[in-house]
Structure 1
Amino acid sequence: MEGVTITRTDMLAVADAVAREKSIDRELVLEAMEQAIQKAGRSKYGMEHDIRASIDRKTGEIVLARYIEVVEPDNLEDEVKQTTVDRARRKKADAVVGDFIVDRLPPIDFGRIAAQTAKQVIVQKVREAERERQFEEYKDRKGEIVNGLVKRVEYGNVTVDLGRAEAVLRRDEIIPREHFKRGDRVRAFIFDVRREQKGPQIFLSRTRPEFMAMLFAQEVPEIYDGIIEIRRVARDPGSRAKIAVLSNDHSIDPVGACVGMRGSRVQAVVAELQGEKIDIIPWNDEDPTFVVNALAPAEVTKVVMDPDTNTIEVVVPDEQLSLAIGRRGQNVRLASMLTGWNIDIMTEEQESEKRQREFAERSDLFMEALDVDDMIAQLLVTEGFTSVEEVAYVPVDELATIEGFDEDVAEALSDRANSFLTEQNRKLEERRRELGVDDALASFTGFTNKQLIKLGEEKIRTVEDFAGLAADELTDPTDGILKGDDLTEADANLLVMNARVAAGWITQEELDQMLADQAAAEAEEGEGEDA
């Protein structure tokens, strides 16, 4: 078999060359070579032996030796790798338990198979070291923009060569109608770096809002210097985007600075994003004003906020409706993403019709519930009353201040409202009992009869039934049992967990520990975000 001879100086030269080429530590390469020689030695002398190899870091000399451990006679388990003190002292007079008898072996010529095995070990170890180096280099670079060359495209996913590492630009992170081929230059945002089985993965994106924010930071010096802040970005990648900006210097117009002289700055970003149209909007802490700004270029005549449902009704002139909604609802959708509010848009005529309809419905409610004529009912609606509960709970002297009312009328209205609610609650109580909802569940949850009826209709009748629920089954905005009842998921979760304690499924100590662990995790997460 043809032999392969590696000289001392070759060994060090190869280690230096590999370390330079792969940008990894020379020591790691030499350790990989030692493991490769060790593996080849075991192949030649027998895998059962404890054979170790070492390379002198200065001379390159390779030492191959067999190690035999000195043990007590009672602990002798492997006669090939172990020996007793008596036997060891024939070779080493001062041998004691725990020592190793080292037998140097003659240098081996690498046969073709052994050389191939050694090469595989070295390549594997070097690759592992290179992956670790890549991860350490890029793990703290999340949030940066990088430039690279397209290395290959597979099923729409693009592998990008960053020079010292490879990154992945997945198909769903590429702007629609954007196509890359091998050798193309690409600019993208690092949104994640994580260890995976096949090595560290660097994930890029061109569609995320952060990419646009970073592009503006590169084009607008005032953003880089912190004079102008990008507060929020909403994107429909490749089509349209809205970006909210705020200036910390009253003498600098944030919108003008981002647009640049004759639009030069914003056009540089637009060109990078394949012509994506960008609306630059001044940030405002007042939500109604911010929503009006976000709907630009449409004009708004009126806004009505409903914090309970996180909705803002926006009224626009008839001719502005299509502009406010935008093509395929794009303008209002982006404005909603930017502001965090659900936005309902209607024309002045639609709003007038809605108000008239609500006025009539509330008037009818008061006429029926309080047994009053249409004039009194309309006076109540005009004063802003929307429910019988409001009439019942408002002090009589406040009711008496309404124009056209006196104390007798106010007292009569209050009495009738309370009588109506009492009767209504009695009927609801009867319905709850018909559904078999326990008094224990009613007192435990503190829910109203209306809420308890909703539970009963879903066959939730006892504390044990309630304990078997998940919080989102109660609060999910689409199909939760108590959706729209102003019950938060956190409160619902606490109620369910307390029900499990009451049902004996868990102890109070276990619940307290779970809550403490959750609070600690939330605090740690908050500290991470602050950092």
Structure 2
Amino acid sequence: MAITSANQLELLQTAEAVAREKMIEPELVIEAMEDSLARAAKSRYGAEMDIRVKIDRRTGNATFTRIRTVVEDDAVENYQAELTAEQARPYLDDPKVGDEIIDEVPPVELGRIAAQSAKQVILQRVREAERDRQYEEFKDRAGTIINGIVKREEYGNIIVDVGRGEAILRRNEKIGRESYRPNDRIRAYVKDVRRETRGPQIFLSRTDPQFMAELFKMEVPEIYDGIIEIKAVARDPGSRAKIAVISFDNSIDPVGACVGMRGSRVQAVVGELQGEKIDIIPWNEDHATFLVNALQPAEVAKVVFDEEAGKIEVVVPDEQLSLAIGRRGQNVRLASQLTGLDIDILTEEEESKRRQAEFNARTALFMDALDLDEFFAQLLVAEGFTDLEEVAYVEQDELLSIEGVDEGTASELQARARDVLEARNKAALENARALGAEDSLIEFEGLTPQMVEALAKDDIKTLEDFATCADWELAGGWTTANGQRVKDDGLLEPFDISLEEAQTMVMTARVLLGWVDPTELETTGEEDAGEGGAAEAEEAVAGDEGNTEAGA
């Protein structure tokens, strides 16, 4: 069948029909037709020829042309589609590189094989256009809630019809033991939209914490209007959840607004989440206050916060322990997710025993090191002294403020403490030298003899060895493995060295060794001032290699 003998308007009608059915632009279908006709013509005239087809958008008439391009004399590779300027002179008055010679060629006869090939080309181009259209439509809907109809189930995964495309709800993204049948209506959170070779993949979720946040946004007008903000969400899908909210209008109670009249608003969310119990908690900038709220309904007696480690200890009455922990640790786990902190829960009895043990240990330290009786040693501990350094180098007035301590006693205490420290330093230094520690490390400013001894025991014996250390190796850190934070002990952590101090010492050692230019370091530090500085950036690389989160 020759293209010229066909009803030329049928091309345009077909293109419009396909475009309407697939919801794409008719121009894309016509371009696919042009490409398929060009391929058919190449199979007739030769695959090396540059054959192009143009379909008139008004009449449907298809024009077949052969294109030859003028190239440099030594650049001709395809003699069917390229020619030199000399060869082009019969066709052009003043041929230049890049000029094209366009000749119209007779239309081709579309045989059965050529027609089938043209059909495949058109279908492929239409499918690609349809995929692009679907991706463009859904890519901006990630992070929103979408309604759909269940089409089928495949290996536990639910295929959902979402209008102009299909989405997938994986079995691990379903709540509990949810089951669906074909034609059931479903509401889910668009977790991700990816462009893949087989088309856009739309991934849904009903277990994502943001699904619940979006549901509250739909049910609570104050959240939608921005008067109330959801600060954090933690979920145990299908069982229990906690959501932290804050109000920017003092006249509106954020918890009450989310609960609604007689619980109407929160019940609507609970119903959608298969009866999941929801604790609505007022958010607070103060970590301790926020944590007390997050552990509701348990009562908290005391909170001890370790900011450097991102860890917090909560003391509860003995009878509140099971309530604070929750069934299978659910309550404390959700509170930890909500606050972003590691939470240790102790009873008042456990905390009292631990404090007593610390008191006894410090008392014994002062009794043995300073040759004091038990009463006087306990008096020092009760006044807040924790180690010999504090006694040796504290202002004498602080010792004189202790009842029964005069100037002579204070001077004697400090002299004894300094003598013990000097003896310990001397012994540590001798031991470090015996282990092979070199003077470059021993004389490095900021390292005490005990620190040098600890480093030497770990085979860090020179300044070069020290300069290769990462900050977290010295100060300690936290490694995240399988979602759990695991403590990594630092070599100098027993000496209460902070992460910033470790960074400074390591970079100072590198400057002294000539590994780092101090002027470049200052420039980089100014540029990265808002991002943690050059030292932090460089050490972060080392920290990443160990998959370690820096922290004391």
User: Do the two structures share a fold, i.e. TM-score over 0.5?
Assistant: yes
Q: Does 1:387 align with 2:381?
A: no
Q: Does 1:96 align with 2:132?
A: no
1:5-41 Cα distance to aligned partner (Å, 9 max, x none): 7532122122223333333333222222211111111
1:304 maps to 304
What is the CA-CA distance between 1:277 and the residue it aligns to? 1.3
Alpha carbons of 1:293 and 1:5: their partners in 2 closer, same or farther (altered >3 Å)? farther
What is the CA-CA distance between 1:219 and the residue it aligns to? 0.9
1:465 maps to 465
Q: Does 1:482 align with 2:491?
A: yes
- Is residue 446–residue 505 contact of structure 2 (8 Å, CA) maintained in 1? no
Residue type of the alignment partner of 1:408:
G
Alpha carbons of 1:167 and 1:65: their partners in 2 closer, same or farther (altered >3 Å)? same
Aligned-pair RMSD on alpha carbons? 3.3
- Is residue 148–residue 161 contact of structure 1 (8 Å, CA) maintained in 2? yes
1:397-437 Cα distance to aligned partner (Å, 9 max, x none): 11101122222222222222222222222222223223323
Q: Any unmatched runs of 5+ in structure 2?
A: 479-486, 534-552
1:411-465 Cα distance to aligned partner (Å, 9 max, x none): 2222222222222222222232233233324555834444444433332333443
Name which of structure 1's ranges 291-300 and 337-346 shifts more when overlaid on structure 2.
337-346
When normalised by structure 1's length, the TM-score is: 0.87
Name which of structure 1's ranges 249-258 and 460-469 shifts more when overlaid on structure 2.
460-469
Give, in whole Å, the separation in 2 of the partners of 1:140 and 1:272: 24
Give, in whole Å, the separation in 2 of the partners of 1:472 and 1:112: 71
1:127-160 Cα distance to aligned partner (Å, 9 max, x none): 3333333333333333211122334443434443
- Is residue 3–residue 112 contact of structure 1 (8 Å, CA) maintained in 2? no
Identity of aligned pairs, percent?
58
Secondary structure of 1:139 counterpart: helix
Alpha carbons of 1:382 and 1:195: their partners in 2 closer, same or farther (altered >3 Å)? same
Give, in whole Å, the separation in 1 of the partners of 2:411 and 2:79: 105
1:527 maps to none
When normalised by structure 2's length, the TM-score is: 0.84
2:275 maps to 275
Aligned residues: 522
- Is residue 436–residue 461 contact of structure 2 (8 Å, CA) maintained in 1? yes
Name which of structure 1's ranges 414-423 and 445-454 shifts more when overlaid on structure 2.
445-454
1:7 maps to 7
Name which of structure 1's ranges 290-299 and 144-153 shifts more when overlaid on structure 2.
144-153
- Is residue 5–residue 109 contact of structure 1 (8 Å, CA) maintained in 2? no
Residue type of the alignment partner of 2:488:
D
1:356-381 Cα distance to aligned partner (Å, 9 max, x none): 22222221111112211111111111
2:23 maps to 23
1:425 maps to 425
1:315-342 Cα distance to aligned partner (Å, 9 max, x none): 2222211111111111112112222333
2:548 maps to none
Secondary structure of 1:386 counterpart: coil
Give, in whole Å, the separation in 1 of the partners of 2:327 and 2:492: 32
1:55 maps to 55
Q: Does 1:405 align with 2:414?
A: no
Name which of structure 1's ranges 284-293 and 483-492 shifts more when overlaid on structure 2.
483-492
Give, in whole Å, the separation in 2 of the partners of 1:418 and 1:390: 10
Alpha carbons of 1:100 and 1:428: their partners in 2 closer, same or farther (altered >3 Å)? same
Residue type of the alignment partner of 1:96:
P
What is the CA-CA distance between 1:390 and the residue it aligns to? 2.1
- Is residue 2–residue 108 contact of structure 2 (8 Å, CA) maintained in 1? no
1:108 maps to 108
Residue type of the alignment partner of 2:95:
V
Give, in whole Å, the separation in 2 of the partners of 1:209 and 1:89: 72
Secondary structure of 1:143 counterpart: coil
- Is residue 306–residue 312 contact of structure 2 (8 Å, CA) maintained in 1? yes
2:541 maps to none
Name which of structure 1's ranges 247-256 and 483-492 shifts more when overlaid on structure 2.
483-492
Alpha carbons of 1:323 and 1:5: their partners in 2 closer, same or farther (altered >3 Å)? farther
What is the CA-CA distance between 1:284 and the residue it aligns to? 2.2
Name which of structure 1's ranges 345-354 and 225-234 shifts more when overlaid on structure 2.
345-354
What is the CA-CA distance between 1:99 and the residue it aligns to? 3.4
Give, in whole Å, the separation in 1 of the partners of 2:361 and 2:73: 99
Residue type of the alignment partner of 1:117:
S
